[in-house]
Structure 1
Amino acid sequence: MKIILCLALVAASYALPSVEVHPLSDEFIDIINSKQSTWTAGRNFHVNTSLDHIRGLVGVIKTSVKTLPVRGHEVGSRETIPETFDAREQWADCAAIIGEIRDQAACGSCWAFGAVEAMSDRICIHSNGEKKISVSAQDLLTCCATCGYGCNGGYLESSWKYWAESGITTGGLYGETEGCKAYSIEPCAHHVDDSVRPACTDIVRTPACVQQCDSDELNYKDELTFGRKDSIYRVPDDEAQIQLEILTNGPVEAAFDVYEDFFSYKSGVYQKVAGKAVGGHAIKILGWGVENDTPYWLVANSWNTDWGEKGYFKILRGSDHVGIESEIVAGLPQL
C-alpha cells in the first residue's frame, strides 16, 4: 500500500505545472537571450508594471470575416524590388510624417494608430509632399462606432472603411495644437528609463466622441480627410506583394500575434522564442532589409521612442512569422 501511495504521489508531482517565470523579470530576459541570436532582449518595462497594463497595449480584435477586396500587383514587377527599402528615404519630403513615432499611452488603441499613421504617410506621398498633415488617432479611436471597443481593442478593416465612408479629421500627438483633434490621453512612463512622464495606470476608458476641433479657429468638417471608396483593400499574404505595395503606395498597416518575449525587444530581428500568446497588435510597416543574413520588415510601433530601437523594431520577413504578413490593410487617399 505504501509503495502504491508513493508512486501515486510521484505521478502527481510530475503532473503539477512548472513554476512560471514572470514575463518582465530578469530571469525571463536571460531565457530569451539564451535561446536565440537574431535579436537582443532587455528591460523596457519596469518589473513591477501591471501585466494588465502591458497586455492592454495589444489591442487588435482578429476576425475570420474579411470584408475588403484583395488587391495585388503585377507579378513581373517583382524584379524591381530592392534588397533594402526605407519609406523615409524614398519620400524624403515626407520623412518627418513617415518617421514620427506616436504614443498610444494607457489605451489599447494600436489599431487606430497603425491606421492613421499609414493614412498620414499616404496623403503626403500621393500629394507629392504638398499635404503634410497628421490624421487624428483621437477621432478614429473615439468616433468610429463600427471599429470595435476603443481602448479595449478594434478592427483593422473597419478603420480603413470608416476613413472612406465618414472621414477622419486632422490631429497629432498629445498636447499638439497643429490640426483639429490631438490625442487626449496623456503619455505615461511605460519604460524604466522614463523619468519625465507620469506613471502608467491600467488601460483607461475610451474618451467620448466630440466632433469639433480643439481650437475654435478650425472647423471639424473642413479638416476631414478621406480615403477613396474604391481603393480600400487588403494586401495579398505574399512577401513580394507587400513589398510592391509599399514601394508603389507607401507604408501599410499590419497586425501580428504578440508573445510575452516581444515586450522586452531591444534590437535586432525579432523572432518569437519564449512566452505565452498575449493578443493581436497593430503597427505600421515602412520598409525592409537584411541584418546578419536575416531578412526583416522595418516596423514603427506606438509605444513612444523609449521602446525598442527608438520606437521601431525589425521582425522576420518572408515566412509570415507570428502572422505579420497575413493581416495587411491599406488604401489610397482622396486628394
Structure 2
Amino acid sequence: MQSAVLTLLLSFAYSAPTSDLDPSTLTGEALVNYVNSLDTSWTATTDNFAPGVNPDIYKTGGSLDIDDPPGNDTDIIEYPFKVLDSVPTTFDAREAWPNCADVISTIRDQAQCGCCWAIAVAGAISDRICINMHKPVLVSTQDIMSCCRYCGYGCRGGWQYKAWQFYKQYGVVSGGLYDSKEGCSPYPFPPCNHIYNTSLESNREKMKFCGKPNVYSNTPKCTRTCEAGYTVPYASDKHFAYYYYKFTSRPMSYRVLSIMSEIYISGSVTASFTFYDDLFYYKSGVYHHTSGRKIYGHCVRIIGWGTEGGVDYWLIANSFNTFWGDGGYFKMRRGTNECGIENLVIAGLPRLPGK
C-alpha cells in the first residue's frame, strides 16, 4: 500500500506544472516536459534512461579541462595552419572520407567509467591516422587512461590536452571496443544499457544496465603488453603525434572558422565543455542548455557541422553508445560558445614514417 501511495505521489510530482518549478532544479520527466514545452531547437526524451535508472550513475569523473585548462603548458601550441577563406556550409567527416567511414563512425561506450577525455582523444587519433596515413586502426582508450599517469585519474576524470601530450611523447597502441579482440589493448569494460526504448527490446535484453555509481571507479592497471593472440609487441605497436595544438585565437568567429578549417583538412578534433542535466535527455535537433544542474566537464569528438532550422551546429560523437541520443551523436549550437564548447578544442597530426 505504501509503495502504491509513493508511486502516485511521484507521478503527481513529475506532472506538476513546470511554470511552478525552478528550471535549474528540474530532472527526469519534469525536465523533458519543460524542454519540449519551449518549442526550441531540440527535443528531449525520457527514453535515454531505463525506468528507475538515475542519470547520476554517469557522473563519475569527466573532463578536468573545464576547471583546470592547459594554461602555460609549453608543449601545446596555437593552431599553426592557415585558416581557409571559406568552408562548406555542411560537412560530415564520415562522408568526406568514405574509406575511413567505419573508423570515424565508431561510437565508443565509456560504460560507467569517467574516461570521456581518453575516449574522445583515442577516437580523434584513430580518425586522423586513417585520414592522413590511409591506415584504418582504432587506437586504445585503455592505453591512455591506464598508462598516462600525469593525464589524470583514469575512470575518475582526466585532461584531454594531456592525453594529446601523451600521444606525442609516449605514443598510443591500438585497441578496439570491448571484447573485440582487435588490436593490442581493447577497451576493458562491457557496454551497458544507458536507455530504455521498446523498439530496441532485443538489443536491450543483451545488455546489462549500467548499475550503481562507481562500479568501475578502479582504473585498470597499466600493462605494457598486448593481449594474448596479438602478434605485434607493445612497444612496436605505438602510434605517435608529430605535434598537437589548440584553438584559442580571438575573435571567436576566427576561432570557429579555424576549427572548421582544421576538421575540413585533417579530420576530427576534441572539445571539452560543461555538461548540464538536460543533455542527458537529448533526442534530436540542435542542443543548447535550457535547464537542469551543472554535472561535470565532458569531452567529445567533433566530426562536422551544418545548419538546421536556421541554427548553426557542430556534429558531435558522444560516448554513451549508439542507443543514446541520435544514434550516439548529437548536434550542439555552433558559434556562440555554447556550454564552453569552443573554449578548449584540440587536435594533432600523426607522425609519418621517417619523421
Q: Please confirm whether the aligned pair reaches a TM-score higher than 0.5, indicating the same fold.
A: yes
Cα deviation digits, residues 88-133 of structure 1 (max 9, x gap) = 1111111110111110111001000100100000001111x2x111
**Distance in 2 between the 1:334 and 1:36 partners?**
47
Task: Return the letter of the residue paired with 2:30.
Answer: E
Are the counterparts in 1 of residues 24 and 291 from structure 2 also a CA contact under 8 Å? no
Equivalence for 1:70:
78
Are the counterparts in 1 of residues 23 and 292 from structure 2 also a CA contact under 8 Å? no
**Distance in 2 between the 1:166 and 1:233 partners?**
17
Equivalence for 1:89:
95
> Relative to structure 1, is the Cα distance of residues 51 and 249 closer, same or farther in structure 2, using a 3 angstrom cutoff?
same
Cα deviation digits, residues 269-288 of structure 1 (max 9, x gap) = 00100011111100000000
1:211 equivalenced with 2:224 (yes/no): yes
Equivalence for 2:343:
326
Which residue of 245, 250, 266 corresponds with 1:233? 245
Are the counterparts in 2 of residues 61 and 153 from structure 1 also a CA contact under 8 Å? no
Range with bigger deviation, 51-60 or 211-220? 51-60
Aligned residues: 313
**Distance in 2 between the 1:185 and 1:240 partners?**
37
Structure 1 residues without counterparts, runs of 5 or longer:
1-17
Equivalence for 1:126:
132
**Distance in 2 between the 1:51 and 1:89 partners?**
33
Task: Return the letter of the residue paired with 1:209.
Answer: C
Are the counterparts in 1 of residues 49 and 196 from structure 2 also a CA contact under 8 Å? yes
Equivalence for 1:222:
236
Equivalence for 2:120:
114
**Distance in 2 between the 1:139 and 1:28 partners?**
38
**Distance in 2 between the 1:22 and 1:199 partners?**
25
> Relative to structure 1, is the Cα distance of residues 65 and 101 closer, same or farther in structure 2, using a 3 angstrom cutoff?
closer
Which residue of 177, 197, 200 corresponds with 2:210? 200
Cα deviation digits, residues 34-59 of structure 1 (max 9, x gap) = 12420000020135224441222644
> Relative to structure 1, is the Cα distance of residues 191 and 25 closer, same or farther in structure 2, using a 3 angstrom cutoff?
same
Cα deviation digits, residues 270-312 of structure 1 (max 9, x gap) = 0100011111100000000010111000000010000011000
For 1:97, what is the secondary structure of its paired residue?
helix
1:308 equivalenced with 2:325 (yes/no): yes
**Distance in 1 between the 2:238 and 2:225 partners?**
11
Deviation at 1:78? 2.2
**Distance in 2 between the 1:317 and 1:152 partners?**
29
**Distance in 2 between the 1:192 and 1:21 partners?**
25
Which residue of 108, 122, 134 corresponds with 1:102? 108
Are the counterparts in 1 of residues 24 and 293 from structure 2 also a CA contact under 8 Å? no
> Relative to structure 1, is the Cα distance of residues 38 and 199 closer, same or farther in structure 2, using a 3 angstrom cutoff?
same
TM-score, structure 1 as length reference: 0.89
Deviation at 1:186? 1.1
**Distance in 2 between the 1:64 and 1:101 partners?**
26
1:260 equivalenced with 2:277 (yes/no): yes
Range with bigger deviation, 60-69 or 290-299? 60-69
> Relative to structure 1, is the Cα distance of residues 317 and 19 closer, same or farther in structure 2, using a 3 angstrom cutoff?
closer
Are the counterparts in 1 of residues 224 and 234 from structure 2 also a CA contact under 8 Å? yes
For 2:304, what is the secondary structure of its paired residue?
strand
Are the counterparts in 1 of residues 49 and 55 from structure 2 also a CA contact under 8 Å? no
1:247 equivalenced with 2:264 (yes/no): yes
Mapping for residues 119-198 of structure 1, pairs under 5 Å: 119-127=125-133, 129=134, 131-193=135-197, 194-198=204-208
Cα deviation digits, residues 6-35 of structure 1 (max 9, x gap) = xxxxxxxxxxxx788975521221011112
Equivalence for 1:282:
299
Cα deviation digits, residues 184-207 of structure 1 (max 9, x gap) = 111111111333211213231211
Are the counterparts in 1 of residues 23 and 31 from structure 2 also a CA contact under 8 Å? no
**Distance in 1 between the 2:221 and 2:105 partners?**
29
Are the counterparts in 2 of residues 58 and 258 from structure 1 also a CA contact under 8 Å? no
Task: Return the letter of the residue paired with 2:220.
Answer: P
Equivalence for 1:28:
31
